[in-house]
Amino acid sequence: MKLNQQKNNAFTKIKKILDEKPEVIIVHVTDTYFIEETKVNQNIDLPGFARIYSLIKFIETQIMSKKINTSVLLLHGGDFLFPSLMSLYFKGKQMVEILNKCGFNFCTIGNHDFDGGVEIIKKRLNEAVFDVVCSNLISPKNEKKFQIHKYKFLKINKKQSKIAITGIAGIATMRKAHHNGFDILPPELSLKHVIETINEKHPRINHLIVLSHMSNDEDIGLKEWLNKNWNGYVYMLGGHDHNEIFEYNPITNPKSILLKGQSNCRTVQIVGINTRKVLKASQIKKMTKSVAVLDSDLTKIHPDEEIKRVVAKWEQLLEKRINEAESDRIIKKFKVNTVLDATELQLRRGSTNFGNFVADCMSEFTGSDIAFINSGHFRGDRKIGNNLKISDLRRIFVMDTNDALVKITMTSTECKEFLKHAYSVEGHGKILQVSKATIKILQKSIQDDTFSVTMLWDMLRTNDDGFTSILASNRKISLKKLQSKLKKHIITNSSLFDVIEKTAKHVRYDSSTRISVRNFSNQF
C-alpha cells in the first residue's frame, strides 16, 4: 500500500496524535453525497472513499507498529443516504455498502436522510452494519424495525468503557423527521434524559461524544448547555452546514471541543481520547494536542484497491441507468483553463463564477431584472473544467424539478432584505447567487421601486431559509396565503437543466465575484 508518507502532512498529524497514546482515535466525516473521487483538469478535487479507507488502514498500521492499545472509531455526522445522482437511482444503497465496507461504527441522522421517505430509510438502516444514534428522534409507533439508538457505550479493549456516544438532530432534521411520522424532542431535553441515565446507571462514564447534525448556532448553543449540565469531557462532532469550525477555550470551557467539517470528505476530523487519567486544570490544554483536521493532503493518499472496485461497480450500474452519450454532451465551452467553482465551501461564502453563471441563465430564460438562487440547491460540491457537460448538471442539481422557477414582482426593499438575510453569516445554504447587475440595480433604486425577480420556487415553497417569511412580513399576509398566491407564478417546464441548456450559449461568462458575506456591508 503506497502512502507517500514523507510528503504527506496528514500522516504527520496522525502520528503526533498517536504519540499521546490515546485509548480511542476518532475518524469523523459528514454530509457525504459521493462515493467516488472527482477531478478537474486531471487534478483530484474530492478524495473519494477509497482514499478515506487507505487513511483508516494507515492509522491501524501505525497503531500496530507503535504497539499501543488504541481503538479506531469511525463516525459519520449525518446525510449519508441522500442527495446525489446515484441516490436518485439506488436510494442510498451504495452509501450504506461503502460505509459498511470501510468499517464505520456510528452515524447520526441528517435532514437529507429522509429524502427517500420512511420505507427507504428503514431499509437502509436494516442493511447497515454500523449503529445509528440520535436521542431526540422517536420512531413512529407503528414502525418496529427502525434501528436508532438514543445512546451507546463503547467497549475499549474489551473493558468497561468510560465513553458514551449519542446523536442530536437539529431544526432542519427534526422538521423532516416530523413530516415522516417521527416524534421529536428538544435537543436539551433529550440530552438531559441521556445524562441522567448515564449518571444513575453508569457513573464511571466521564467522556461523552455527541454526533450532531445541526446549524452552527445550534451546535454552539448546545455546547454551552453541555458545559453547564455535563461534568465530564464533551466531544461535539458536527455536520449540516458544510463548513469548518474548531471551537475550544481552555480557560472558560476546558473540557469541551466542537469540531465541524466540510462535506464529502474534503476535511476529516481526527480526535484522540484518553480516559485513563483525569487531567488537572494545568494539563487540560493537552486536549488540543489530540485533535487534527485533514484537508487537501487527503487527495495525495493512494486509493484502496478494494474500495475502488466497489465504487467502480456502482458507477457502472449508474451508467446503465442513464444515457451515457447524452450525459457527455457539452452544453457550453469556456476559455481554456477556466475552472468553474461549484464547491459548497465557496458557494456558502458568496457568489462564485458558476453560481453567477446559473443566475444569469435564469434571468436570461425568464427576461427578469434580477435572479436569485440559494447555494443549498447546488449539491455537486465540485470544480468543473472549461467544458460544461450535462453530467455536471446532473450531479450538481440532484434536487431539480420540472417546474423549478418562479417569477414574481418584488420591491427594492424586499430584494435588499433577501440579500441582507442571505449574507448575514457564512456557511449557510441560504447564501444567494445573483445575476448580473443585481447590486447596481438595487444600489440605484429607491424604496418603492419594483423589479421582476426570478428564483427557485423551492425557496418560497418550503421557507427553509426564511425567504417566504420576509415577503409575508413586508406584505402583511400569512405564509400559507402568500404561498398560495405565489404558486400562480410558477414557470412551467423550467428545470434548471433546460434553463441552462437553452440559454448558456447566449450568456456572457463573468468570472468576477459579485457579492460575499465579507464585502456585503460595503454594497448598501
Q: At 510, which CATH number?
A: 3.90.780.10
Per-residue model confidence (pLDDT) at position 8: 60
Q: Which cell is 114 given?
A: 429522509
Per-residue model confidence (pLDDT) at position 287: 62
Q: Give the DSSP H/E element, type plus range, for residue 474.
A: helix 467-475
Same domain, yes or no, for 288 and 367? Answer: no
Q: In this structure, is residue 417 part of a structural domain?
A: yes
Of 306, 337, 357, the residue that ends a domain is 306
Same domain, yes or no, for 284 and 341? Answer: no
The torsion of the CA quartet 358, 363, 369, 373, rounded to 10 degrees, works out to -40
Residue 426: exposure state from Cβ atoms within 10 A (0-12, 13-18, ≥19): middle
CA-CA-CA-CA torsion sign (345, 243, 79, 306):
positive
Same domain, yes or no, for 302 and 331? Answer: no
CB atoms within 10 A of CB 276: 10
Same domain, yes or no, for 275 and 424? Answer: no
Q: How far apart are CA 236 and CA 162, in angstroms?
A: 16
Q: How far apart are CA 79 and CA 486, in angstroms?
A: 31
Q: Minimal CA–CA distance to 438: which of 493, 372, 506? A: 372
Domains held by the chain: number: 2
Q: In this structure, is residue 3 part of a structural domain?
A: no
Residue type, 388: L
Q: How far apart are CA 510 and CA 500, in angstroms?
A: 15
Helix axes 479-486, 467-475, angle to 10 degrees: 100
Q: How far apart are CA 278 and CA 232, in angstroms?
A: 10
Same domain, yes or no, for 264 and 339? Answer: no
Range of the domain at 239: 9-306
Same domain, yes or no, for 205 and 292? Answer: yes
Q: In this structure, is residue 1 part of a structural domain?
A: no
223 touches 188 (CB < 8 A): no
Same domain, yes or no, for 98 and 214? Answer: yes
Residues ≥6 apart with Cβ < 8 Å to 4: 300, 301, 302
Same domain, yes or no, for 237 and 294? Answer: yes
Same domain, yes or no, for 240 and 105? Answer: yes
108 touches 99 (CB < 8 A): no
Same domain, yes or no, for 239 and 381? Answer: no
Per-residue model confidence (pLDDT) at position 303: 95
Q: In this structure, is residue 513 part of a structural domain?
A: yes
Q: In this structure, is residue 315 part of a structural domain?
A: no
Provide the residue-wise pLDDT of the chain in tens; the chain has 524 residues: 333 444 468 888 899 999 989 999 999 999 999 999 988 777 888 999 999 999 999 999 999 999 998 999 999 999 999 999 899 999 999 999 999 999 999 999 999 999 999 999 999 999 999 999 999 999 887 666 678 999 999 877 666 678 999 999 999 999 999 999 999 999 999 999 999 999 998 888 989 999 999 999 999 999 999 999 999 999 999 999 988 999 888 888 888 999 999 999 999 999 999 886 555 544 444 566 789 999 988 988 999 999 999 999 999 999 888 877 788 899 999 999 899 999 998 999 999 999 999 999 999 999 999 999 999 999 989 999 899 999 999 999 988 889 999 999 999 999 999 999 999 998 889 999 999 999 999 999 988 899 999 999 999 999 989 999 999 999 999 999 999 999 999 999 899 999 999 999 999 998 888 899 998 887 77
Neighbouring C-alpha atoms within 13 Å toward the C-beta of 36: 17
Helix axes 93-102, 305-321, angle to 10 degrees: 170
How much is the pTM?
0.88
Q: How far apart are CA 112 and CA 130, in angstroms?
A: 18
Q: At 127, which CATH number?
A: 3.60.21.10
Per-residue model confidence (pLDDT) at position 5: 43
Same domain, yes or no, for 337 and 472? Answer: yes
Q: In this structure, is residue 230 part of a structural domain?
A: yes
Q: How far apart are CA 218 and CA 261, in angstroms?
A: 15
Same domain, yes or no, for 341 and 292? Answer: no
Residues ≥6 apart with Cβ < 8 Å to 128: 96, 99, 100, 107, 147
264 touches 44 (CB < 8 A): no
Q: In this structure, is residue 178 part of a structural domain?
A: yes
Q: In this structure, is residue 318 part of a structural domain?
A: no
